[in-house]
Amino acid sequence: MRRGGPFGAVIVKDGAIVGEGWNEVLRSNDPTAHAEVVAIRNASRLLETYDLSGCEIYSSCEPCPMCLGAIYWSRIGRVYFAVNRHDAAGIEFRDEHIYEEFARPLGARELPMVHLPCDGALDVFTDWTHLADHVAY
């Protein structure tokens, strides 16, 4: 806990734990190594699939926007958490700024985001959709 805060998560399928994780950001120097993401990675590796439909995740804290995005992408069916994001802000883990940024139009965000359309960029996406073995996830 000293190295990553009080954050842990487990993923359960059919009553069995299939993935667990704790915050490894400081240990690994990986800003994406939040407990939920680590648990998703471990569950996906164990189950040999990116699709965690039928799973539930239990987390010590309400998932941050990044983790919530990962939970949606993995298709986990339900999230349980013990402490909400407002409580986490009380110990200096503040996600509210990110939630507020997402609600702003691109041009009004603190992080500059510039759409640079260019000739041929969409062709790669179109070509991918025509591949016989493409998998939409």
Per-residue tens of pLDDT for the chain, all 137 residues: 556 778 999 999 999 999 999 999 999 999 999 999 999 999 999 999 999 999 999 999 999 999 999 999 999 999 999 999 999 888 888 888 999 999 999 999 999 998 899 999 999 889 888 888 878 77
No. of H helices and E strands in the chain? 6, 4
**Can you tell me which residue has the tokens 């996600």?**
95
Q: Name the helix (H) or strand (E) containing 125.
A: helix 121-129
CA-based diameter of the chain, in Å?
A: 51
Q: What angle do CA 130, 136, 137 make, to 5 degrees?
A: 160
Q: Can you tell me whether residue 78 is helix, strand or coil?
A: strand
CA distance 62 to 77: 15
Using alpha carbons, list the distances in angstroms from residue 82 to 10, 41, 86, 114, 115: 12, 21, 12, 38, 38
Hey, which residues are catalytic here?
A: 36
* Among the listed residues 36, 50, 23, 40, the one whose alpha carbon sits nearest the alpha carbon of residue 81: 36
The pTM score is 0.89
